[in-house]
Structure 1
């Protein structure tokens, strides 16, 4: 199908937007009126630029408050429309979006609305232009798509059809199944937008929080399937009003937009007898390794040893060490330069155990994520990798044949660690504000991970937005974080290790000469006593060991955090029974302690 996007969805000037849209692979574009008004090019020049870029101008929008008006206002509206028709001819656009009337003086009269729309369509036909009538979710009287369709059907003009907008349909909780009652040839345009599920005024929700398909909570797959069953053959077009997108990099956002449509088209192939444009989604089984780059390997080695890891291998050709403890594996990469005297220690890569690593790489490439170039010696393992939105490299490793481990010459017998850690439980990645939604789509579309609800956590100097992504078996867990305001250099990446006996680990760590875990304030434990009745002995043990506690309907959760090196710290967790969360209720206490533990902020609490 043809892919289109409204210019309002991106940042930049109209010419910058057109170039980015074409570069991302779109076929067409909706011209949003404000973008045209601020452009120094004439409509003829814009048309020529679009042709040169291989773009068709699919729609001009919006035309507001035409229907359900007084005779005097109708004449003014028709005069205004005539000017727009002349403009559209110069642009080469043949469809005008007309929104249902949202003004307070709109008249409640379907017959009048149909009559006025018929007059508009008749005048449009003289210019070879079609009218796509859209029910705004906040329309004064017409605010549902089936109501708009009844008016269009009553008007009965070949140049008048309906525009379906997923936000206006789904934000009101309307059943999209009714779309199949509309003949496909009368659906003149289909606009797609996702959104997080928020309890707020629908107009503000629409104007500020729309996002690309796959980034929110709407079931766009079902809606699109209903539209396609009607025989709709027009473009799939994105119309996104989002404050972050309109400030973000234009080209990057356009590519993410195209990725979202490719993924949506792929999802529809699961419910309709259509072929998918993508290789199948292959969910990773778990983490093969996490790779940390550091200019200060001595500090990281010391912390890993304290946690019970053993250095079990050295890479044959790269300055990379393999550290293991049962199934938990860390690669320590020493090839990271000092950054202006700062500790640049950070998480640089994740290895994912995939049952079909080649298919995983092919799907990523089809979703506009080319495989990263990798320098390797001829005898070394072939590992395909792509870059996640935050820059972390993701390596697709063969779960059945972990050939990457053969690149490391052994230094001690494998799994010679002394602790009770046995796997990587989850990994937390930090994202700038303009990449958070992109990351959610990336992990959903590329890896087939299931997104959980977004949550917001307050810390002493800002607000943290967080969203978990997991595979179907719950054996691979990622948490995506976004800091909404400046975080005073607070570390944003951490690796959580699953521990079989976290109490014993905590006791052993407390006996070390130098403390390596965060010291949790007594106030936290006083509050914990109020929240949970665990018995006096257990409360005292948690306080003495510095363990944090959480509980859900499936089980219990014990965890602790290490001190930070650069941008990375570790978490040790023990899931009891079938606990499924991440201890999010304890995040404010952890964040507060980390703030006061950061050298730049330590003086603030003195």
Structure 2
């Protein structure tokens, strides 16, 4: 289907928005009236600019407070409409969005609303314009799509149809199945937006928190399916009001929007792009730093052994069980301190994963390969982390580990670490929703509930994504706004089957674990009926505790090196979370450690 987007969804001038929309591959745009009014380009110039870029102008919007008003008020409405119709003729737009009235002049009279909309449509037809009537979720008397359709049906004018908006429908909890009873030719336009489920006034919810489909919690795909089954053949158009999007780069936002629509078409069964290749686990995590010594010491203290050196690059392979960490000094000059720069993802179909990524506008990262290097392809996540599609077959010698020749032994007694449990990647504040959609659409990972966690500096927003088996988990974290806290630490969580024994061995090997205040354990004793010896062991090792309906979670942390620290975790009984309720304690302890003050 054709793809369109409202200019209100992007930042910048109208000309800049049109350029970004065309570059992302859209077919058309909705012109938001404020963008035209505030810009220097005449309607004729906007029309020419859109045509030069290959864009149609699919909708002009919004026209407000038109129907069910006293006759003297409606006379002024018609005068206003005539001038808008003239602008639309100059602009080359033939469809006007009319929102259900919020005016105090409006009365609760469907017959009057239908009669006045008929008259408005008659005037519009004289200019070659059609009217798409939309129910605002906060409309004074008309606030549901089925109510709006009954008025359109009663008005009975060929130039009058309805506009369906997924936010207005789903935010009110309306059943979208009724869309299929509307004749397809009377659905003049379909506007799409997602949103997180939050308890908020619907107007403020709409104005500030809409997002692209796949980034929120609404089932937009099912709504699209109902519209298509009703016979709708117009464009899929995005209309998103979002404070973050309107401050970000328009080109990047437009690409994110196109990725959303492609994913949405697939989810609604309208297209069949290359299927997602869901990664099975982590093959490795790559740390990059100019000075590798602090991380080398920390890895040894965690019980890792250096098992190989890359044949052509300054990269060492450290391993313990199935947990592999690459320690690299390549390209460290462009980063501050130690950084988690790349993840290897165990991928059953590497070529298929590449095709999927490219179909969703995630191009493969160019790489220089020496003769004999494993043919690994990578894509860049929104925060710049490189994601490698890997196959680890150390015994066959055909996997990526074959690039690493045995080097000088640097072995330590293992500490009981078995694999990488999850990684946490802080996201730039304006790319959090983009990242959520990226991992969901490109990699086929399942998004979890979005959480707001207390932080010594305010709130930390977090959303995890994982494969269905829970063998690959990524936590995406972000502060609620821009500022100095954007550069939060990254961390790698390492699984163990006996965290108390692992923590003891790590301390014996010389690693400093993050001190946790005694106050935490006093509170833990009050909240949970833990055996005294268990509580004493947790207190001694600085281990935090959580439980859910599925099981228990124990975890503790190393000190931070550069931007990176390690977490040791033990899941028992199928625990599914990440110890979110302990986030404040960890963050406060890290803040204290950064300031060099004792936390006990």
Contact 2:419 2:494 in 1 (8 A): yes
Question: For structure 1, which runs of at least 5 residues remain unmatched after alignment?
Answer: none
Kindly provide the CA deviation profile for residues 383-416 of structure 1, in whole angstroms up to 9, marking residues without a partner as x.
1100000100000113567611100002378997
- Which residue does the alignment assign to 1:297? 292
The counterpart of 1:460, out of the listed 428, 431, 456, is 456
Contact 1:193 1:212 in 2 (8 A): yes
* Whole-Å separation in 1 of the counterparts to 2:255 and 2:172: 29
Is 1:142 the equivalent of 2:139?
Answer: no
What SS does the aligned partner of 1:15 have?
helix
Is 1:579 the equivalent of 2:572?
Answer: no
CA RMSD for the aligned pairs?
1.7
Contact 1:31 1:60 in 2 (8 A): yes
- Which residue does the alignment assign to 2:244? 244
Q: CA deviation at 1:248?
A: 0.6
* Whole-Å separation in 2 of the counterparts to 1:103 and 1:399: 64
- Which residue does the alignment assign to 1:473? 469
Kindly report which structure 2 residues correspond to 1:337-348, keeping only aligned pairs within 5 A, or say none.
337-338=332-333, 343-348=336-341
- Which residue does the alignment assign to 2:422? 426
- Which residue does the alignment assign to 1:384? 377
Kindly provide the CA deviation profile for residues 254-299 of structure 1, in whole angstroms up to 9, marking residues without a partner as x.
1000110001001112xxxx441x1001110010000000111111
* Whole-Å separation in 1 of the counterparts to 2:198 and 2:319: 43
Is 1:286 the equivalent of 2:281?
Answer: yes
The counterpart of 1:482, out of the listed 478, 485, 508, is 478
Distance 1:343 1:230, change over 3 A: closer
* Whole-Å separation in 1 of the counterparts to 2:254 and 2:575: 39
* Whole-Å separation in 2 of the counterparts to 1:590 and 1:295: 27
Is 1:152 the equivalent of 2:144?
Answer: no
Distance 1:604 1:110, change over 3 A: farther
- Which residue does the alignment assign to 2:321? 326
Kindly provide the CA deviation profile for residues 508-560 of structure 1, in whole angstroms up to 9, marking residues without a partner as x.
23334x55210001011111111111021111111011111010010001111
Contact 1:464 1:482 in 2 (8 A): yes
- Which residue does the alignment assign to 2:27? 27
Contact 2:213 2:260 in 1 (8 A): yes
Distance 1:593 1:203, change over 3 A: same
* Whole-Å separation in 1 of the counterparts to 2:566 and 2:461: 20
Question: For structure 2, which runs of at least 5 residues remain unmatched after alignment?
Answer: none
- Which residue does the alignment assign to 2:524? 528
Kindly report which structure 2 residues correspond to 1:158-557, keeping only aligned pairs within 5 A, or say none.
158-269=158-269, 274-276=270-272, 278-338=273-333, 343-398=336-391, 403-411=399-407, 418-485=414-481, 486-488=483-485, 491-512=488-509, 514-557=510-553
Contact 1:491 1:566 in 2 (8 A): no
Kindly report which structure 2 residues correspond to 1:66-77, keeping only aligned pairs within 5 A, or say none.
66-77=66-77
Contact 1:490 1:594 in 2 (8 A): no
Contact 1:556 1:579 in 2 (8 A): yes
Distance 1:33 1:576, change over 3 A: same
What SS does the aligned partner of 1:143 have?
coil
TM-score norm. by structure 2 comes to 0.97
Contact 2:415 2:505 in 1 (8 A): no
* Whole-Å separation in 1 of the counterparts to 2:44 and 2:579: 58
Distance 1:243 1:548, change over 3 A: same
Kindly report which structure 2 residues correspond to 1:53-72, keeping only aligned pairs within 5 A, or say none.
53-72=53-72
Contact 1:194 1:212 in 2 (8 A): yes
Contact 1:6 1:237 in 2 (8 A): yes
Distance 1:561 1:134, change over 3 A: same
* Whole-Å separation in 2 of the counterparts to 1:330 and 1:106: 66
Structure 1 runs (4+) greater than 3 angstroms displaced = 336-339, 399-402, 412-417, 485-491, 601-606
* Whole-Å separation in 2 of the counterparts to 1:421 and 1:533: 28
- Which residue does the alignment assign to 2:43? 43
Contact 1:64 1:101 in 2 (8 A): yes
What SS does the aligned partner of 1:77 have?
helix
